[in-house]
Amino acid sequence: MKILNEDRTSAVAGGTALSGFPATNVENDRPRKPWISTTTTSETFTISLNASVGYPVQAMFLHGLLCDSATWVLKNASGATVDSGTLDCSFPAESDLSGNSNNMNNYFVNQAHLLRSFFVVFDTTVTDNGSVVLTMTTSQNMGSANIEGNSVASWERDGASAGRLLDSSGDAINIQTHGRIFVGSHIVALATSNPVTTDTTISSSTLATSPYQINASNTLTINGGVTVTVTDDPTSAQITSITGDGTASSGIGLSSDLTTIAIAQVFNPIRIGIARAGKTIDLPTPAPNMSFQYKDYSVRRRQPTGGYSYQQRPIAREVQGQSVLTTAQAQSLQNFYRGFRSKPVPVLFVEGMPTAFEEEEKGNLFGYFQQPPQFSFINRDYQNVSFSLCEVI
């Protein structure tokens, strides 16, 4: 069991952040107030370290991460790679059938965080002012990965930098039941290839951002009654706000003033909720019969006539266990608790599990002690401790 109690982060930095979601958000204790990048492809996030021989960087913790792929590199002060790895960015549950509300895509309904958290124990530690460099990408089209309803087909501009997403029938997309569109998601307009290398027809929803270059033997056809305007209007925008379910006029706010246009892609945002890197307290693995359970905040309503209604809400994890500690280990845990008390902290609560268990993803949480740990003396050399942790979402 490990507790990342000594955060050795000296600074954090990413690329340009979405307004209101700066890189420094990862240093707070609120996973749902994240850093969100503005990039539509690949982003680098750097955690600068202030380490020493007495305070080595032994582990990294990430919570509230969202991206399509992620790798990390641990570097020393000279910039040499000390350790590196890849994070598993696959979702715990998913279906490849969109528009069906009765399959495993229910996983995406009102989840606080779509990916598991990561507690990475480094094979080699850093004892100087090095860094952890994360490289994350986003590339999958979430516009057609809807839980219910239809895929995203177009953007309807209702006002300056505001409007709605529509399906192919022109009906507004319900963002809540669609389930795969968030604050920070990128909306990318459908643009005509330019230069024109095949026969192309322009309609009222055609977008071009530079004068058309028509290659030899190809035809550019303009539909009757259509006026062609070459403009430098933006071809993509990022969602900055969603009011209600996003179906009302101006229900979705954007980072730039996107005109009414057909939509080609809706990409996931690249974001991180919590990031820590530092020294850990190492304690024995909890004794057998440690319990693990979910704290489900969903609403369940039984009706007097036998009916049932419900509302899906996020879930947190709870862990209760006991460990036998040496007197020195017990003192370290007591000192830690006297300092942190109700403050949440990254915890790896199981170690040495079979590889298939993936303990650095499934055996950790960003949690707090639900009540003070209780100590009892076995003898002068050993103490028994019981504890209860609850995850912060």
Domain ranges of the chain: 2-140+272-391, 154-267
Instruction: With cut-offs at 50, 70 and 90, classify the pLDDT of residue 55.
Output: very high
Task: Give per-residue pLDDT as tens, 243-284.
Answer: 999 999 999 999 999 988 889 899 999 999 999 999 999 999
Q: Provide, rounded to the nearest whole percent, the portion of the chain with pLDDT above 90.
A: 80
pLDDT of residue 221: 72
Q: Are the C-beta atoms of 49 and 130 separated by less than 8 Å?
A: yes
What is the tens place of the pLDDT at every residue in 328-374?
A: 999 999 999 999 999 999 999 988 777 777 777 889 999 999 999 99
Q: Are strands 382-391 and 42-49 parallel, antiparallel or unpaired?
A: unpaired
Q: Which long-range contacts (CB under 8 A, 24 or more apart) does 100-106 make?
A: 101/147, 101/148, 101/177, 105/145, 105/147, 105/179, 106/147, 106/312
Superfamily classification of domain 2-140+272-391: Galactose-binding domain-like (2.60.120.260)
Q: Whole-number mean pLDDT of the chain?
A: 91
Q: What is the pLDDT of residues 11-30, one digit of tens each?
A: 999 999 999 999 999 999 99
Alpha-carbon gap, residue 117 to 65, rounded angstroms: 7
Q: Enumerate the H helices of the chain as residue ranges.
A: 175-178, 327-340, 359-362
What average pLDDT does range 83-99 have in this prediction?
93
* pLDDT of 227 higher than 90: no
Question: Tokens 């489900």 — which residue?
Answer: 296
Q: Is 85 exposed, middle or buried (0-12, 13-18, 19+ CB in 10 A)?
A: middle
> Average pLDDT of 115-131?
95
pLDDT for res 209: 54
Q: Is the model's pLDDT at 36 over the cut of 80?
A: yes
DSSP letters, 230-271, are -----SEEEEEEE-TTS-STT-EEESS-PPSEEEEEEEPPPE
Dihedrals φ, ψ of 176, to 5°?
A: -65, -45
pTM score: 0.88
Give the model confidence (pLDDT) of 152-196 as tens digits.
999 999 999 999 999 999 999 999 999 999 999 999 987 665 566
pLDDT at 228: 60
Distances (CA, A) of 274 to 23, 345, 392: 10, 10, 11
Amino acid 229: pLDDT: 57
